[in-house]
Amino acid sequence: MKVWLNGKEVETAATSLTLLTEELDLPVEGVAVAVNNRMVPRSQWADYVLTEGVHIVIIKAACGG
Amino acid sequence: MFSDELEKISWEETTDRINAKTDADVRRALAKEHCDVEDFMAMISPAAAPYLETMARLSRKYTEERFGKTISMFIPLYITNSCTNSCVYCGFHVSNPMRRTILTEEEIENEYKAIKKLAPFENLLIVTGENPAKAGVPYLARALDLAKPYFSNLKIEVMPLKAEEYAELKRHGMNGVICFQETYHKDNYKLYHPRGMKSNFEWRVNGFDRMGQAEVHSIGMGVLLGLEKEWRTDITMMARHLRYLQKHYWRTKYSVNFPRMRPSENGGFQPNVVVSDRELAQATFAMRIFDHDVDISYSTRESAVFRDHMATLGVTTMSAESKTEPGGYYTYPQALEQFHVSDERTAAEVEKALKKEGREPVWKDWDASFDLKVFAGR
Amino acid sequence: MEKLVIAGREFSSRLFLGTGKFNSNELMTQAIKASGTEMVTVAMKRIELGDKEDDMLQHIINPGIQLLPNTSGVRNAEEAVFAAQMAREAFGTNWLKLEIHPDPRYLLPDSTETLKATEQLVKMGFVVLPYCQADPTLCKHLEEAGAATVMPLGAPIGTNRGLQTRDFLRIIIEQAGVPVVVDAGIGAPSHAAEAMELGASACLVNTAIAVAGDPVAMARAFRQAVEAGRTAYEAGLGVQAESFVAEASSPLTSFLDE
């Protein structure tokens, strides 16, 4: 299935957000995910079913003032 | 609410701090362009007495920077002396067997006309006792409505009201409220105001918050000098209150008054302390150096000579030819006054004297029609 | 030094640190330690695929340090609200440094959008610390909207030019009912000390420390400067402008003796 991740089209086998974050090997803390411009709380990742072509934004901590 | 702030401030500690101020504390305060309450305490302390001339110079400088050489002129009108309070120092005391007057609409209008014949007054202060049942908010609203054709800036000096009542009176053209706390000494306040609605300290002291919440344009404050022996502490509390109000209700313009009691010649209440001219001047200068923008108002309680000098040294607002009895300008020219007027000159004479001192008396500096809400309501 | 209280949390240190522009996370960690700070800002970025870089967060997570996520990169209130939600999720804190700069050149804060976003975010339960212009009226509006502090700029960000907005900062400090944190423009410890002497509640410093020859030593210098400035403020500064003596002649007040 193809989805948009941070503006790039990527191929993924993950069917839920939890599986996607595992596939991407993301750090446990300091990450937030939005699908189609809506933030999805971590507690809902497991049940969040990914569908073809959705826009996913994943952010993490960075240095900044 | 300011009563909560006041809980955190000890009167005794403030008094001790004022009395402990040193020469160095005074110099430090005078060198600052922006003073805090600590600095104010130094300037009003006995330690500042040798610096009176320096303080006068600074006070004049800051006043001229912000106000130029103008003095805003106003006149009070007492529309009733009916009062349910029993303030021990007041001529309108409830148990004083005097004739009580509540001016009728016709009488009020006659007073307005009579005032306009004295001088081109545009700033009117409507004053009442406290009798909400007989002379409450609707009565005040009516007096304001009647005043609009004659005056462009209307203030009231009445009992503390609810925020919505202030808002209501604003709709009738009220631009400012003056209310004297009399004293910030909570326990002694009860002694001076033993009965009646005024005996509630919190209701009065929080009245200023309610004015601010109602977005009253101009708020006037004052402590009655003569009640508390530690008058420096009382004025310091007022300075704190001023800073508090400025922080919370920053759209409002503030004025301070220093009503001073004199020894009574015909018995009656004798002041607990007599503040001298020199001390009152010090308090005035200290207030100006503390706050460059606050209006400082002197009434006709003060003598002609003192007023004329102080008009060049920090005072920015003055009344003239005031009568302190209801209907005093036309209806009842001989009635019993609330307090004795020292400066008995006519407004024209005051104007002439101020001009001689190089001051410009300003009769009109605000027009209620600038207030869109009032304007739209016309 | 009095403790600083923001939204009910006490801070012993009045120096806040930005984490941008350090050469390495290691250096940043040492600088944070040397500064004694209890509040550090942190930004957000989109992850890159296959990115194996060091996770900066693990360097600053510490119970003694309040994380202050910023909204850097957003251009209006709507984007700021979205960024705030992401930040709350990512960092597990409702504290937020709100910064909205639509202009990529000088990164100057947008006053109208900042006020709008503050109003919304406060309602959503955020502790909002808005970076803003040194505009006293704006600061009162932000305070009334529920901002936990105001963070006016001393000079354009990254310029190290010090307190160019001094006269306005003074008014803001005098009027504010919330802590005033001077943010942006502080280029030297003397600037930070001056801000504290004026009565600012805290300073937020980043570039001046991160790009110093020795960032760790500079962090220590800022710590000392902020403490010195605050202590001086609390102590009451001595006579600076002119020295007053009791005047022998009294042309203005002689009428009082008559």
pLDDT band at residue C242 using 50, 70 and 90 as cut-offs: low
Q: Which of B5, B34, B60, B288 to mutate to probe the C interface, most C CBs <10 Å? A: B34
- Rama region for A57: left / alpha / beta (φ>0; ψ in -120 to 50; rest): beta
What's at B261, amino acid-wise?
M
Element (H, E) at B318: strand B317-319
Interface A–C counts its CB contacts (< 8 A) at: 98
B2-377 topology per CATH: TIM Barrel (3.20.20)
**Strands B253-257, A38-40: parallel, antiparallel or unpaired by DSSP?**
unpaired
In this prediction, residue B77 carries a pLDDT of 96
C33 vs C30: CA distance, rounded Å: 5
Contact between B31 and C241 using a beta-carbon 8 Å cutoff: yes
How many C-beta atoms lie closer than 10 Å to residue B267's C-beta? 6
Which residues in chain B land under pLDDT 50? Answer: 377-378
Residues of C in contact with A57 (CB under 8 A): 46, 86
Residue C55 has its nearest CB partner, among A7, A27, A58, at A27
In this prediction, residue C61 carries a pLDDT of 84
Residues of B in contact with C243 (CB under 8 A): 27, 31
Residue A18 lies in a domain: yes
In this prediction, residue B365 carries a pLDDT of 81
**A39/chain C closest Cα distance in angstroms:** 6
Is C55 in CB contact (< 8 Å) with chain A? yes
Cα distances from B177 to residues B90, B170, B225, C74, in angstroms, run: 20, 10, 20, 45
Contact between C256 and B278 using a beta-carbon 8 Å cutoff: yes
| Subunit partners of chain C (3 or more CB pairs within 8 A) | A, B
For B48, which residue in chain C has the nearest alpha carbon?
C246
For C170, which residue in chain B has the nearest alpha carbon?
B34
Residues of C in contact with A7 (CB under 8 A): 46
B312 vs B69: CA distance, rounded Å: 8
Q: Residue B146 — φ and ψ, nearest 5°?
A: -70, -25
What domain range is C183 assigned to? 4-257
What number is the ipTM of this complex?
A: 0.90
C230 vs C198: CA distance, rounded Å: 9
In this prediction, residue A23 carries a pLDDT of 86
Cα distances from C219 to residues A6, C16, C21, C31, C63, in angstroms, run: 35, 11, 14, 6, 20
In this prediction, residue C239 carries a pLDDT of 59
Q: At A37, which CATH number? A: 3.10.20.30
Residue A30 has its nearest CB partner, among C19, C28, C57, at C57
**A28/chain C closest Cα distance in angstroms:** 10
For C73, which residue in chain A has the nearest alpha carbon?
A64
Residues of C in contact with B248 (CB under 8 A): 177
**B25/chain C closest Cα distance in angstroms:** 9
Residue C244 has its nearest CB partner, among B51, B246, B248, at B51
Residue A32 has its nearest CB partner, among C18, C86, C204, at C86
What domain range is A13 assigned to? 2-60
Is C92 in CB contact (< 8 Å) with chain A? yes
Residue A49 lies in a domain: yes
What's at C202, amino acid-wise?
A
Contact between C237 and B277 using a beta-carbon 8 Å cutoff: no
Q: What percent of chain C lies above the pLDDT cut of 70? A: 93
Residues of A in contact with C18 (CB under 8 A): 64-65
pLDDT band at residue C246 using 50, 70 and 90 as cut-offs: low
Interface B–C counts its CB contacts (< 8 A) at: 62
In this prediction, residue B267 carries a pLDDT of 66
Residues of C in contact with B27 (CB under 8 A): 239, 243-244
Which of C21, C33, C97, C116 does the annotation list as catalytic?
C97
- Asked if residues B55 and B30 have their Cβ atoms less than 8 Å apart, the reply is yes
C218 vs C213: CA distance, rounded Å: 8
In this prediction, residue C241 carries a pLDDT of 53
Cα distances from B139 to residues A16, B79, B352, C199, in angstroms, run: 72, 10, 36, 47
B276 vs B259: CA distance, rounded Å: 12
Q: Which residues contact B66 (CB under 8 A, 6 or more apart)?
A: B292, B293
Q: Which residues contact B153 (CB under 8 A, 6 or more apart)?
A: B122, B123, B124, B175, B176, B364, B365, B366, B367, B368
C169 vs C160: CA distance, rounded Å: 17
Contact between A65 and C206 using a beta-carbon 8 Å cutoff: yes
**A3/chain C closest Cα distance in angstroms:** 13
Number of domains composing chain C: 1
Q: Which of C89, C129, C153, C157 to mutate to probe the A interface, most A CBs <10 Å? A: C89
Report which of residues B252 and C107 the model is more confident about: B252
Number of domains composing chain A: 1
Reported as a single tens digit per residue, the pLDDT across C11-39 is: 999 999 999 989 888 899 999 999 999 99
Residue C177 has its nearest CB partner, among B34, B51, B248, at B248
In this prediction, residue C232 carries a pLDDT of 93
Six-digit token pair at C19? 């984490």
Is C235 in CB contact (< 8 Å) with chain B? no
A45 vs B3: CA distance, rounded Å: 51
Reported as a single tens digit per residue, the pLDDT across C35-77 is: 999 999 999 988 887 666 767 888 888 889 999 999 998 999 9
Whether there are 3 or more C-beta pairs closer than 8 Å between A and B is no
pLDDT band at residue A29 using 50, 70 and 90 as cut-offs: confident
For C20, which residue in chain A has the nearest alpha carbon?
A64
Cα distances from B24 to residues B28, B33, B99, C46, in angstroms, run: 6, 16, 55, 59
Residue B38 has its nearest CB partner, among C176, C236, C258, at C236
Q: What is the mean pLDDT of residues A11-30?
A: 85
How many C-beta atoms lie closer than 10 Å to residue A42's C-beta? 16
Contact between C86 and A39 using a beta-carbon 8 Å cutoff: yes
Is C170 in CB contact (< 8 Å) with chain B? yes
Residue A60 has its nearest CB partner, among C45, C49, C157, at C45
**C56/chain B closest Cα distance in angstroms:** 41
C97 is catalytic: yes
Is C43 in CB contact (< 8 Å) with chain A? yes
How many C-beta atoms lie closer than 10 Å to residue B138's C-beta? 11
Six-digit token pair at B346? 């006519």
Q: B124 - beta bridge partners? A: B75, B154
Burial of A44 (0-12, 13-18, 19+ CB in 10 A): middle
Residues of A in contact with C61 (CB under 8 A): 29
What's at B6, amino acid-wise?
L
Alpha helix segments (H runs only) across chain C:
25-35, 57-60, 77-91, 111-123, 136-144, 166-175, 189-198, 207-210, 215-235
Residue A12 lies in a domain: yes
Handedness of CA B355, B359, B363, B369 (dihedral sign): positive
Residue A64 has its nearest CB partner, among C20, C55, C86, at C20
Residue A65 lies in a domain: no
**A65/chain C closest Cα distance in angstroms:** 4
What's at B145, amino acid-wise?
D
pLDDT band at residue C237 using 50, 70 and 90 as cut-offs: confident
Q: Which residues contact B69 (CB under 8 A, 6 or more apart)?
A: B358, B359, B360
- Asked if residues B169 and B138 have their Cβ atoms less than 8 Å apart, the reply is no
In this prediction, residue A63 carries a pLDDT of 87
Q: At C226, which CATH number? A: 3.20.20.70
CA within 13 Å, CB half, C191: 24
B55 vs B58: CA distance, rounded Å: 5
In this prediction, residue B378 carries a pLDDT of 42
B340 vs B336: CA distance, rounded Å: 10
pLDDT band at residue C196 using 50, 70 and 90 as cut-offs: very high
How many C-beta atoms lie closer than 10 Å to residue A26's C-beta? 17
Is C241 in CB contact (< 8 Å) with chain B? yes
- Asked if residues B35 and B58 have their Cβ atoms less than 8 Å apart, the reply is no
